[in-house]
A and B are shown apart, each in its own frame.
Chain A
Amino acid sequence: MSWERKHLLDIYSLSSEEILTVLDTAKGFKQVGLRSIKKVPALRGKTVVNLFAEPSTRTRISFELAAQRLTADIVNFTAEASSFKKGETLKDTVKNLEALSADILIIRHSSAGAAHFVSRVVNASVINAGDGAHSHPTQALLDLYTMREHKGDLRGKCVTILGDILFSRVARSNIWGLQKLGAKVTLCGPPTLVPKSLESMGCRVTYDLKDAISNADIINLLRIQHERQKRSMFPSLSEYTKLFGLNQERLSWARPDALIMHPGPINRGVELDSEIADSNRSVIMDQVANGLAIRMAVLFLVNGGNHLDDSSGGEGES
């Protein structure tokens, strides 16, 4: 099917067909990355702005390289060195960027809903690169891509997301994406970070690590985000590791072909042992490589014209 959205703001409002369109398109762009000439002219003459009001390395670099590989011009705009510091509003900032004829705005912001807001005040296409604890659609898409690459069709597959779910936009986007593609999702972690109320999203919630991973086809570990925790949600990092950290012994509870994923950056020795992170069961580096193909695909798709509905962002994720 063809893609008719002008923006990519969340996963929740995408249909499973639209998700599969992104994943199939990314397949073509992954192939481009294997050629000696890794560049195509699809976005020639277009200007892409990376507007990152929150720290990021891999997502920003991934989008930057993706835009360059599509022959777009790319401008990086980071909060540390910007007029945000001088008190300019987000609306004024994006209006100014648009006046420089930006065609696509990629935005990361600590406030949930920032990308939706920006999409309503500019004519450019908007891609959400993470907004607060709300959504991180390209991370979910690259995770889905990596899972399908290793496990095929996700219908009926058991995926366990382990760790800090409450503060995680990656978790929310993954949950929606996985459910749309027919996977069964289990959430596990300390009760303070994995409230029972998440069952309302259609997931199974368990606080027993063995129960959570023993039947999983895929184990997606999330980073403990100390920076987002205003107050401590568990006594200490070492206590988290003691109860939920993935080590060799606990990994033996899982199926031998269970895939280990992590969106990065890894807190080595907290969520998982270095040994596991670097083992051949971990596809963490595949996730990074696939992220580039996914972001090229998303830029390529939102760049298309004839949008049916300019406000095609959706209602947002819970």
Chain B
Amino acid sequence: MQPKNLTDAQLLYDTHRVDAMVQSMAGAIALQHPEGSELAIIGIQQKGVLVAQTIKVHLQKRWPSLDISSGDLDVGMYRDDLSDNPAPTLQPTSIPDNLEGKDVILVDDVLQSGRTIRAAMDALLDFGRPRRIQLAVLFDRGQRKLPIQPDYVGELLEIEDDQFIVVKTLEEKAGVGVYLTFK
């Protein structure tokens, strides 16, 4: 699905801007969860994991003495298009032991149809019963196919159907950020 190269890609947001967006999302999460101790930040494989880790870094700065619970979730076994496409490559899943009573923040890079989030919620509920699940996404590009809305959004993006957002690793310094490219 992802484009092979980024030669025709246009850099939309550089590392600093992405980091500022994530920081403001972390701020909004902290505002709604002043205790922090009940939070579990769960990134959806693969790019959601990057965003979740960055959110956690910012939250950790806020609450240095708190060990914020976090995890990674692969939704490959829960997708609704498994018979139509080659089987997906499964990525590691690691979910905190006890989800009971937790406020889970599911994190992904881009929200579009909402199908990944549906799969992620089903997958997550097989690990336990959190008190609530909220959704944080770096970009919401609209075009929803399911009644799913994010609770925390980095930015709304209005782009053409044939355009594609690529989030590159947020940790490296040079030449990274969020790219806009064509399918």
Which residues of A pack against B, CB within 8 Å?
A: 1-4, 21, 24-25, 27-28, 31-32, 35, 37, 39-43, 46, 300-301, 303-306
Closest to A28 in B: B90
Q: CB distance B83 to A304 under 8 Å?
A: yes
Q: CB distance A3 to B77 under 8 Å?
A: no
The reply on B122 being an interface residue by CB < 8 A is yes
Q: CB distance A28 to B77 under 8 Å?
A: yes
Residues of B near A2 (CB, < 8 A) are 86-89
The reply on B19 being an interface residue by CB < 8 A is no
The reply on B127 being an interface residue by CB < 8 A is yes
Q: CB distance B122 to A301 under 8 Å?
A: no
Q: How many residues of B contact A (CB 8 A)?
A: 20
A40–B77 Cα distance when bound, in Å, is: 6
The reply on B157 being an interface residue by CB < 8 A is no
A21–B86 Cα distance when bound, in Å, is: 12
Residues of A near B87 (CB, < 8 A) are 2-3, 25, 300-301, 303-304
Q: CB distance A40 to B78 under 8 Å?
A: yes
- Contact count A vs B, C-beta below 8 Å: 63
Interface of chain B, main secondary structure: loop
Residues of A near B92 (CB, < 8 A) are 27-28
Residues of B near A3 (CB, < 8 A) are 86-87
Residues of B near A27 (CB, < 8 A) are 90, 92
Residues of B near A43 (CB, < 8 A) are 82
Q: CB distance A304 to B74 under 8 Å?
A: no
Q: Which of B78, B86, B88, B93 contacts A41 (CB 8 A)?
A: B78
Interface of chain A, main secondary structure: loop
The reply on B126 being an interface residue by CB < 8 A is yes
Q: CB distance B89 to A24 under 8 Å?
A: yes
Nearest CB on B from A255, distance (A): 32
Closest to A71 in B: B77
A84–B84 Cα distance when bound, in Å, is: 34
Nearest CB on A from B36, distance (A): 27
Nearest CB on B from A177, distance (A): 20
A300–B74 Cα distance when bound, in Å, is: 15
Q: CB distance B85 to A28 under 8 Å?
A: no
Residues of B near A21 (CB, < 8 A) are 89
Q: Which of B82, B93, B122, B127 contacts A28 (CB 8 A)?
A: B93
Q: A28-B74, A35-B126, A35-B127 are in contact. Are A42 and B82 (CB under 8 A)?
A: yes
A30–B92 Cα distance when bound, in Å, is: 11
A32–B86 Cα distance when bound, in Å, is: 21
A37–B122 Cα distance when bound, in Å, is: 12
Q: CB distance A41 to B122 under 8 Å?
A: yes
Q: CB distance A25 to B90 under 8 Å?
A: yes
Residues of B near A35 (CB, < 8 A) are 126-127
The reply on B150 being an interface residue by CB < 8 A is no
Closest to A70 in B: B77
Q: Which of B74, B85, B122, B123 contacts A305 (CB 8 A)?
A: B85
Residues of B near A305 (CB, < 8 A) are 82-86
Residues of A near B93 (CB, < 8 A) are 28, 31
Nearest CB on B from A149, distance (A): 15
Closest to B79 in A: A42
Closest to A21 in B: B89
Q: Which of B77, B82, B89, B122 contacts A32 (CB 8 A)?
A: B77
The reply on B76 being an interface residue by CB < 8 A is yes
Interface centre among B85, B89, B122, B127 (most CB of A within 10 A): B89
Q: CB distance B77 to A300 under 8 Å?
A: yes
Residues of B near A37 (CB, < 8 A) are 126-127
Q: A35-B126, A37-B126, A41-B122 are in contact. Are A28 and B86 (CB under 8 A)?
A: no
Q: A35-B126, A41-B122 are in contact. Are A4 and B77 (CB under 8 A)?
A: no
Residues of B near A41 (CB, < 8 A) are 77-78, 122
Q: Which of A4, A28, A40, A300 contacts B126 (CB 8 A)?
A: A40
